[in-house]
Each structure stands twice: as C-alpha cells, then as structure tokens.
Amino acid sequence: MMRTNMRNAIAMVELIFAIVIMGIVMMSAPMLISQASQSSLQVVVQEAIAADASELGMILTRDWDESGTDETIESPILAVTNGDLELEMALFPDGNSSGRRAGTPAGSTRTSFSSIGTELSATLEGAFNDGDGDDIDDFNGQSTPLTGTRYALGDLADVNITINTTVKYISDSPTAATYNSELLTFNNPFDNNVTGVTTNIKSVTSQVSSDNLDTAIKLQAFSCNIGTYTLKTRSF
C-alpha cells in the first residue's frame, strides 16, 4: 500500500508575488533615502533663513549712525558729504547751514546740530564698528556663529552656520524722477556702493555660510538718514 506524505511548501505564485514585492521595495529605497535627505536639507535652509532674518532685523533696530546715539538729544538728521542735492540741509540767508533738511518744520528739533551747537556728521566707512553695538555700522565685518550667545537656546539642525554682516553707503540719488516727484525709481540700489564718502542711505547685507548648505543665502535691507524721535518718560 502506497502512502503519500503531504508537506507544506511555497507555491510558485506566492514565490513570484514575494519577489515582486521585494523588487518594489528595493526600487523605492533610493527614492525614500533621497526624500529624507532633501527634507533634512530643507530644515537646514529654513533654519539658516530664519536666523539670517532675525539677525538682520536686530541690526535694523539700532541707531543709523554713531553720531546719532546721544541720548540727551533726539537722534538727528546727520550731515553727509555726498548726498543727493535735494536732501541737502537748507541754508540761512547768510549761506550757513540751518541744520534742517529742506521741508523740515522750523519748530522741529530734528536738526544736524548737537546740544552744544556742533554740527553732527555721518561716520565714514573707515571708522565703522567701534565695538559698542549701538548703531548699524557697528556690525560691519562681524561674523556671528549660530551657536553664539544670541542663539544659545534651542535644538539646531546645523551648528556650523555663520552669519556675516556688511554695512555700506549706497547712492541716494534716484535713477528716475526726483525727490519732488510722487514716485521714485532706484535700479539695483544695493549694487550702487560708494566709498570714501557718506550718503543718506546705508545698506546692510547679512549672508549665511555653512558647509552643509549648497546654496547661498543673502538678505539685504537699507536704512535712511531721517532721524528718530526720542520717547519721553515720566516718573510717578
């Protein structure tokens, strides 16, 4: 009498099905790895942009120039050496400077003179960065690591980020129309750097560098010589 032993085995259809699934997984693996890498890079880029924007915003809260940091007077409109003629200080009949930009109300205290009557002038680029950090150009040439004192908190995806800051004077003359016009046109104003003179506009460039970034991240802003009012305080 013949006896047949039945044993469990994998059917051909099941084997083929398993091979197909494994093939799909192997084909998807590079795509998944690439997607994960791109996501990590995106986190680094977004982190760099946020840090760059934060640094630039902080700089723009400072006074426009060292000559305007005297707390005893309202931050003045400063005299410059090479500003647009339409922004020059108005003159008295005797030809002396009134200390007031054309159009400034006579009752305003926003003049280019200090409390002792000395005319205040904008700082030349060669004298930028006196180290006290109270005005915009003190940050010229600074290199700030993301892990420095201003960024000590939080989990950082990239600890190698450094923010490099440059402050320059740029031309304040419009390329079309005049300051008496309703509309002004400036073509590529950040490319119109001037040296050896002072104007009424400073550009601030904040650029991120890191070994983990494959693209340049640079933010630019400008600040104008318009003076600011000093907030008054009252004691009770």
| 208-230 tens-digit pLDDT | 888 777 777 899 999 988 876 66
Give the burial class of 229: count Cβ atoms within 10 A of its Cβ; 0-12 exposed, 13-18 middle, 19 or more buried.
exposed
Which pTM does this prediction carry?
0.72
Q: How confident is the model at residue 169 (pLDDT cuts 50, 70, 90)?
A: very high
Which residue carries 């119109």 as its tokens? 192
Looking at per-residue pLDDT, the higher value among 149 and 102 belongs to: 102
Mean pLDDT in residue range 163-174: 92
* Cross-strand partners of 9: none
Compute how many other C-beta atoms are within 10 angstroms of the C-beta atom of residue 224.
Answer: 13
Instruction: Please provide the distance, in angstroms rounded to a whole number, between the alpha carbons at the two ends of the chain.
Output: 116
Which residue carries 């994998």 as its tokens? 10
Looking at per-residue pLDDT, the higher value among 145 and 111 belongs to: 145
What are the residue ranges of helices labelled H in the chain? 12-59
- Point out the least confidently predicted range of 8-22, 105-119, 188-202: 105-119
Sorted by where each begins, the domain ranges of the chain are 13-72+123-224
SS3 49: helix
pLDDT of residue 197: 93
| pLDDT, tens only, 32-73 | 555 555 556 677 778 888 888 988 999 998 889 888 777 666
- Give percent of the chain above pLDDT 90: 14
| pLDDT, tens only, 94-120 | 767 666 776 666 666 666 666 556 678
pLDDT of residue 186: 86
- Using DSSP bridges, classify how beta strands 201-209 and 162-170 pair: parallel, antiparallel or unpaired: antiparallel
Q: Tell whether the model's pLDDT for residue 17 goes beyond 60.
A: yes
Closest CA to 226 of 204, 193, 201: 201
**Cα(3)–Cα(139) distance, rounded to whole angstroms?**
94
Name, in order, each residue with C-beta under 8 angstroms of 129's C-beta and a sequence gap of 6 or more.
137, 138, 139, 140, 141, 142
**Cα(19)–Cα(8) distance, rounded to whole angstroms?**
19
- Among 74-88, 167-181, 216-230, name the most confident range: 167-181
The full length of the chain comes to 236
**Cα(211)–Cα(17) distance, rounded to whole angstroms?**
45
Assigned token pair, 6: 């039945």
